[in-house]
Amino acid sequence: MKQFTAIVLAAGKGKRMNSAQPKVLESLMGKPLIYYVIAELLLLKKQVKQIVVVTGYKGELVKKEVRNNFPEVLHYLEFVNQKKLDGTAKAVQLGSKKAKHGNILVVCGDTPLITNLTLKKFIASYLRKKLACCVLTAVMERENSLGLIVYDKFGKLKSITEKIELKNSRRGLLIFGEVNSGIYCFERKTLVKNLAKIKMNKRKKEYFLTDIVEILYQQKAILGSYLLPSFQEITGINSKQDLALARRLMQRRIIESLINRGVNVIDPETTFIEAGVKVGKNTVIYPFTFIEKGVIIGSCCSLGPFARLRKGTSIGDNSHIGDFIELNRSKIGRNVRMKHFGYIGDAVVEDNVNIGAGTVTANFDGKLKQKTYIRKGSFIGSDTILVAPLEVGKNSTTGAGSVVTRNVKSGTVVVGVPAKKLKKRG
């Protein structure tokens, strides 16, 4: 009875996002919104034994994205499609038909800031109090559209009132207070038995899951709420403004996690790091550095300022990537020095290489991205252009301003445009 099926609501179109894609696929720090929700649920393996994702608008895209992000745990995931987008109650009703466990945890796919720690405490409270239903809540001190929590005179949870019913007639503003996060715990049998009793909301022409609370209250079921100390985790994404707020909060969380693991971020407010970036201890990241998802950085490195590290890049220990440098789909070895402006794309740079200021790999031939290999111990002179496909052999040197169009043998010095082997003077 302590095991849960999690139902993730991911059917909505998100009209206020002004986007052609499903709302839960909006990008947040390099990952879709729904990624964060499922990732946190997967950390609750002792409690959550099954995850059912309810898709709707462009459901196949959502399904594909979830599968691509979590290929190793597909046995945990099931999908059901809500063909008619007629409300959260109907979505949960569809999801509950797949449920295999005695309790149901309902989570919104557009609440990416929720953490597994909060969900764990929420579930524990629900189980400890032996509730039929528990609602995760917070006090919201800014304008929002979340339903208000209503208690009876004895302090018992009575209902959730949607904000569309509670406009302030004098000011035209939404009323603030303790609000519903859209995250619930239910006893499965009680939920399933009562979902059909929810009536269509006349204004929205939808069936609201929030109505289940009042239905259960009338039946004298044991209900409860779990109040969070801050509203940040329950921030739902309904507009670009919400997405911008979530981006700031998620960025802070990512950088704080790196700092706690021994990374020195000089100015978190001016540093941009996407989800899934790995950075070793004692690495220093200077301001205005942009690091995209999937980048791997070793220990004792130095990055920036004004550096951009793009997806598919890795950097070995003790390497220094300086200002106004872009690395893209490249593997950088250990003890590499590239301290001043340049571009390295689709390249392998081995250990102990020095790359002078202004160096560029010309990796695109008009049709394909071509590879450049710079072998161990090489010295690339300032303003060198390396025209791919190309290999620069071990311990080779290019002169300043060289345009290298042919492979360079190990231990060779090349100079000029196009670069040629430097002849020894007699």
Bridge partners, residue 277, by sequence: none
Q: Determine the Cα angle at 389 with ends 388 and 393, to 5°.
A: 95
Q: How far apart are CA 387 and CA 379, in angstroms?
A: 16
- The residue count of the chain comes to 426
| DSSP letter (8 states) at residue 418 | T
340 labelled catalytic: yes
Find the DSSP H helices in 219-312.
240-260
Cα angle 217, 222, 227 (rounded to 5 degrees) comes to 95
Provide the token pair at 23.
Answer: 């709302």
On whether the CB atoms of residues 236 and 182 are closer than 8 A, the answer is: yes
Tell me the HSE value of 110 on the side-chain side, using a 13 A CA sphere: 20
The pair of structure tokens assigned to 198 is 């929810």
With H, G, I as helix, E, B as strand and everything else as coil, classify residue 53. strand
Integer Cα distance of 198 and 317 in angstroms: 59
How is the chain split among helix, strand and coil, in percent rounded to 5? 25, 30, 45
DSSP-derived letter for residue 333 is -
| φ/ψ of residue 401, rounded to 5 | 80, 10
- Report the candidate in 266, 261, 265 with the shortest Cα–Cα distance to residue 281: 261
16-28 burial: b if 16+ Cβ within 10 Å, else e: ebeeebbbbbbeb
Q: DSSP for 374-402? A: E-TT-EEPTT-EEESSEEE-TT-EE-TT-
Distance of CA 189 to the CA centre of its chain: 34
Q: Is the peptide bond before 305 cis (omega within 30 degrees of 0)?
A: yes
Q: What angle do CA 80, 217, 41 make, to 5 degrees?
A: 35
| Residue tagged active-site, from 75, 101, 320, 340 | 340
Residue in 258, 273, 338 with CA at minimum distance from that of residue 310: 273
Q: How many CB atoms lie within 10 A of CB 272?
A: 16
Catalytic residues: 340
